[in-house]
Structure 1
Amino acid sequence: MSFATADLCDAHENLLALGTLRVLEPVFHLFSRTAYFSGQAVTLKVFEDNALVRATLEEEGAGRVLVVDGGGSLRCALVGGNLAEIAQQNGWAGIVVNGCVRDSLEINELDVGVAALTTCPRRPQKRGAGERDVPVSLPGALVHPGEWIYVDLDGVLVANVALD
């Protein structure tokens, strides 16, 4: 399905007013070859540790979007080229990271969508700490598991239901 977040906002002003469609703050940058992606959210809450990110991306993605609340840390990357490639191979539509990515040139060659705050070359720890399928707080909105995520060059939307 092709879409533009601006058009979705225009077509669903009533949902914006109700708060069932939310716009994340414009702090996310889109990486990857794809210009847009969408799907139901699988949520993770981690901090400077990406073992749970890897374990989740190794599962069948089924067109879903992994939403990672990394606490906004800019000290290390939670997703790199290897994890983005795993996501692509396993059928994930994309990844939204409240934190950093690395290997941006590699990610830009992939067809899986990746949105993050910025880049950082440092890798994270791999202790396995974190929580899955919990509400996560991203800049501008709380995201619940199963909500719908829409991402393009203009921004990131979170909706309680699938949008047409």
Structure 2
Amino acid sequence: MSYLTADICDAHRDSVQLANPVFTLYGNKRSFHGPVQTVKVFEDNELVKQSLETIPEGSVLIVDGGGSLKCALMGDNLAEIAINRNLAGIVINGCIRDSALINNMNVAIFALQTNPFKSIKQGKGEANLPVQFAGLNFEPGNYVYADEDGILLAKEKLQ
């Protein structure tokens, strides 16, 4: 089922919150929705990879990268994992790389910017906890609805 964020706002104005419009949408998939899974890292994407490999199909991975613009937390290899595992989408408070390749892939990734530098791989960070960025508090089990108009957060799945 397809959801348009504008229609969701019309029907559920009091049940959704809008992320600050600081993200760019990458990939050729233009909308997604699903339950939230979270990871918090800083310039280290090993836990991002592990989460992509293990979270439930249909999930939205929310990556709090601390807003760092110094390196990318995801590239085309990790995007391919998300596609193969049928994840709904990804929101990254940080950067991606390989954007030209990602933009031709059937994936939807919101990120702050692009950066060609790769991250370190030490496995530092935390998963499955509330994270705060873009004016929102993302908690595992919340629902995200996103498209080219923005990213909405709801406490539960909307009917």
Instruction: Give % identity.
Output: 50
Aligned to 2:30: 35
Aligned 8 A contact 1:79 1:102 in 2: yes
Aligned 8 A contact 2:62 2:90 in 1: yes
What RMSD in Å do the two structures reach over aligned CA positions?
1.0
Aligned to 2:151: 156
Aligned to 1:18: none
* 1:2 aligned onto 2:2: yes
Aligned 8 A contact 1:148 1:159 in 2: yes
Q: Gapped runs of 5+ residues in structure 1?
A: 16-20
Matching residue within 34, 40, 47 for 1:45: 40
Matching residue within 134, 137, 140 for 1:139: 134
Alignment: residue pair count: 159
Deviations 1:119-148 (A, max 9, x none): 111100000000000000111101000110
Deviations 1:71-96 (A, max 9, x none): 00011010111000011001111111
How much has 1:61 moved relative to structure 2?
3.7
Aligned 8 A contact 2:37 2:55 in 1: no
Given the superposition, is the C-alpha separation of residues 78 and 9 from structure 1 closer, same or farther in structure 2, using an over 3 Å criterion?
same
| One-letter amino acid of the counterpart of residue 36, structure 1 | S
Q: If the length of structure 1 is used for normalisation, what is the TM-score?
A: 0.93
How much has 1:59 moved relative to structure 2?
2.1
* 1:67 aligned onto 2:62: yes
1:35-114 correspondence to structure 2 within 5 Å:
35-59=30-54, 61-114=56-109
How much has 1:60 moved relative to structure 2?
5.4
Secondary structure at 2:54's aligned position in 1? coil
Secondary structure at 2:2's aligned position in 1? coil
| One-letter amino acid of the counterpart of residue 12, structure 2 | H
